[in-house]
Amino acid sequence: PRYPIGKYEPQPFSIEQKIEWLADIHFLPVQLENAVLNLDEEQLETPYREGGWTVNQLVHHVADSHMNAYCRFKVCLTEDNPVIKTYDEKQWAEMNDVHKLPINISLTLLHALHTRWYEAIKLVSDNDWNNRTVFHPEQKKTIRLWYLLG
């Protein structure tokens, strides 16, 4: 249980993989909510690994991360190779909202966000998955929409 868990290895496009990944987006809020459902305050404030974020920070991070991902998908589908916005995840995880608000706020946000996200991308054409791109300024490379879905 240490970060990072490894480098993401891009998968070739396939209908089967697309169905699986779209289902992941569709069902993640329920799965995350079920994972933290019976945790008490002490458990929520426990780091999930030595030197890592607390479970509370991690839940809020998923909401932050997925809001950014949703925006990246939208600009990728509506602009030609846009430069995506990066953000400092560590600083976001230390902000007041993360430390003061209960995780149910982020869980509620994730339910609504994933409903919108899934609806926005469930009918994206195979051609667009392979040919729509964004430019990542930190990585200094163009990334396909398919890679973002992975």
3-state secondary structure 92-121: HHCCHHHHHCCHHHHHHHHHHHHHHHHHHH
- Residue 74: predicted pLDDT: 98
Rounded to the nearest integer, the mean pLDDT of the chain is: 95
- Residue 57: predicted pLDDT: 97
Contact 16, 4 (CB under 8 A): no
Contact 111, 63 (CB under 8 A): no
5 pLDDT above the threshold of 80 = no
**pLDDT bracket for residue 38 (50, 70, 90):** very high
**pLDDT bracket for residue 4 (50, 70, 90):** low
**pLDDT bracket for residue 8 (50, 70, 90):** confident
In the structure encoding, which two tokens stand for residue 134, read together? 């964004």
In the structure encoding, which two tokens stand for residue 101, read together? 């608000």
Average pLDDT over residues 107-113: 98
Per-residue pLDDT tens digits for 49-105:
888 899 999 999 999 999 999 999 999 999 999 999 999 999 999 999 999 999 999
Query: Tokens 């991690």 map to which residue?
Result: 58
- C-alpha 119/C-alpha 115 separation (Å) is 6
Average pLDDT over residues 30-52: 94
**pLDDT bracket for residue 3 (50, 70, 90):** low
Q: Cis (ω within 30 of 0) for the bond into 29?
A: no
Distance between first and last Cα of the chain: 21
Average pLDDT over residues 122-147: 97
Element (H or E) spanning 141, and its range?
strand 141-144
- C-alpha 20/C-alpha 85 separation (Å) is 27
- Residue 1: predicted pLDDT: 59
Element (H or E) spanning 133, and its range?
strand 133-136
